[in-house]
Amino acid sequence: MKIQTNAVNILERTSSYLQAGLLKKTPAWYDVVTNIQPVKKFNREPILTNPSNGRDRTEFRPFSERVNSKGLYKTRYNIADKKTLTNKLYRPPKLIYLEDKLRQLFYEQHPWEMSRPKVIVENEMDVKYDWSHIQQLGKPLDGESVVQRSLYLVKNKQFDNIVDSYNHARFEFYRIRMQQELEEQIAQEEAEMFGSVFESNALQYGIEQEQRVIDQWKKKAIKETEIYAAKRVNPSESWGKEDADEQEGVGADEEIEELHL
């Protein structure tokens, strides 16, 4: 089937229509498409190098020193390995950024930082910060501050590797976070001293409700355990008490009937 190129030739056709006078008014999209023209090359080309790390994608994986299920070592590549490698050459490579690895590492080490509220609405896209210090005006302190601070330290060659710069930025984060929590605690204690009453937050309310259910379950479990222990110690005594209670109840009913007569 022939490749259809009518859609990508829309700029040339519209230009010819404007010159010939078939179109009296320039379309609203004309200037945008002129600056960003559609791609006319439809042939897939193999991507031989990964743009993220610069590695050669045509190299086979090295053989492992482990034996397979048949107890043999693999010494040559088969057709399946070559086919897999060929198919990967035409696939877009995965983009890998150092920032993503730092974010994953930070939030794995500090999972509770993800529970802090974040503003995801950006009013300005070209906001620039000075990462010579980790604290920024108009931006709360979070994991992204640690990531950007680590990259700044590496780019300015204040540290030799990313690990040392990340640890340095992390310790700066700890120091400022402890200072913020201390200031919040002092402000709350001062407010309570002057008569302010703070209601429980959502987390405390959930803990209270959970504790209430646990207390009810504990009472029920203790009661059932005592009953089970009593039956296990002397089951005949418990049955005898039940029979005696039934006989006393029958005797009381007979006395009541005699009184009525």
Give the model confidence (pLDDT) of 221-233 as tens digits: 999 999 888 888 7
CA distance 127 to 98: 21
Q: CB-based contacts of 185: which residues, under 8 Å, 6+ apart? A: none
Instruction: Please state, for a pLDDT cut of 70, what percent of the chain lies above it.
Output: 80
- Determine contact, residues 84/53, Cβ cutoff 8 Å: no
Confidence of residue 132 (pLDDT cuts 50, 70, 90): very high
Give pLDDT tens digits for 8-54: 788 888 999 999 989 889 999 999 989 988 877 777 777 777 777 77
pLDDT score for 145: 93
Query: φ, ψ for residue 56 (rounded to 5)?
Result: -80, 125
Residue 69 has pLDDT above 50, yes or no: yes
pLDDT score for 228: 87
pLDDT score for 256: 46
pLDDT score for 158: 86
pLDDT score for 239: 52
Task: Identify the residue whose tokens are 């976070």.
Answer: 177
Residue 248: closest CA among 256, 258, 236: 256
Residue 78 has pLDDT above 90, yes or no: no
What is residue 49's three-state secondary structure? strand
- Determine contact, residues 150/102, Cβ cutoff 8 Å: yes
Q: Average pLDDT of 179-197?
A: 91
| Distances from the Cα of 10 to the Cα of 29, 31, 36, 106, 164, angstroms | 11, 13, 13, 49, 54
| Distances from the Cα of 97 to the Cα of 3, 103, 151, 161, 185, angstroms | 36, 10, 12, 16, 38
What is residue 56's three-state secondary structure? strand
Q: Average pLDDT of 183-203?
A: 88
Q: Which residues pair with 156 in a beta bridge?
A: none
pLDDT score for 260: 46
Token digits of residue 97: 């950024």
Q: CB-based contacts of 55: which residues, under 8 Å, 6+ apart? A: 49
CA distance 28 to 228: 83
pLDDT score for 108: 94
